[in-house]
Amino acid sequence: MSIGFRVLPIQRRVPADLVKRAAELPVANVSDAMNRMFAGGASLRPMHGGGILAGPAITVKARPGDNLMLHRALDIAEPGDVIVVDGGGDLTNALIGELMVAYAESRGLAGIVIFGAIRDASAIRAGTFPVFAAGITHRGPYKDGPGEVNVPIAIDGMVVHPGDLILGDEDGLVVVGIDEAEAVYAKAAAKHAAETEQMAKIRRGENPRAWVAETLKRLGCEGI
């Protein structure tokens, strides 16, 4: 066994029907359904022109500035997968550019997440293929390895296992574990329905605010 330089098979993926349903929910509602504890960090932002990221994770642990194992992940991923790369958050060298994004899109992948930098930002921004990253630089990558594919990784404290559900929108990224995904979806869907109804009430002028003063009184706030 070559720890630190290996490609492992993925054992299972979050079901495709659940991916489709979850893609219809705001990431904020999914985050709330998990007590706001599983964010990918504020540095990971959408670099593409717009569109939802949703799919099972193919994970890559890369040496900062090196994208050899990312290339291998692109070759073995299946349509609908999301490549999620722990590049250590390093912004010195870009790990992907427009050519790799075009290849990923041609293979039917659902998106790419880079805890690191990209380049060719203008071209990526002009497209709708989902790309999330921590920064931009014109300096290209090396291709020497080592690295690992389909191992647990951590992105700014967010642990991702191969096959986990990855969701991303303009608010950022969240991961949902395979075994919890159905329960989290149900809770997030209920939250979304409640917020949709609340928005309708606000627009109708029905928005009771007594809870604010009541909460301040309960907490001992002076002057209420």
pLDDT of residue 224: 84
100 appears as a binding residue in the annotation: yes
Per-residue CA distances from 187 to 33, 124, 163 (Å)? 6, 34, 21
d(CA 123, CA 64): 23
98 appears as a binding residue in the annotation: yes
Number of structural domains in the chain: 1
CB of 25 within 8 A of CB of 188?
yes
Q: Residue 46 is part of a domain; what is its CATH number?
A: 3.50.30.40
Task: Note whether residue 216 is domain-resident.
Answer: no
**Domain residues for 167?**
6-188
Task: Note whether residue 87 is domain-resident.
Answer: yes
CB of 188 within 8 A of CB of 54?
no
Task: Note whether residue 201 is domain-resident.
Answer: no
Q: What is the pLDDT along the chain (224 residues), one digit of tens a residue?
A: 689 999 999 999 999 999 999 999 999 999 999 999 888 888 999 999 999 999 999 999 999 999 999 999 999 999 999 999 999 999 999 999 999 999 999 999 999 999 999 999 999 999 999 999 999 999 999 999 999 999 999 998 899 999 999 999 999 999 999 999 999 999 999 999 999 999 999 999 999 999 999 999 999 999 88
Task: Note whether residue 195 is domain-resident.
Answer: no
Q: At 218, list the tokens.
A: 């309960």
| DSSP letters for 44-107 | -EE-SSS--EEEEEEEEEE-TTB-HHHHHHHHH--TT-EEEEE-TT--SSEEE-HHHHHHHHHT
Task: Note whether residue 194 is domain-resident.
Answer: no
119 appears as a binding residue in the annotation: yes
Task: Note whether residue 199 is domain-resident.
Answer: no
pLDDT of residue 38: 84
Per-residue CA distances from 209 to 32, 64, 213 (Å)? 21, 50, 8
Task: Note whether residue 224 is domain-resident.
Answer: no
pLDDT of residue 41: 84
99 appears as a binding residue in the annotation: yes
Task: Note whether residue 25 is domain-resident.
Answer: yes
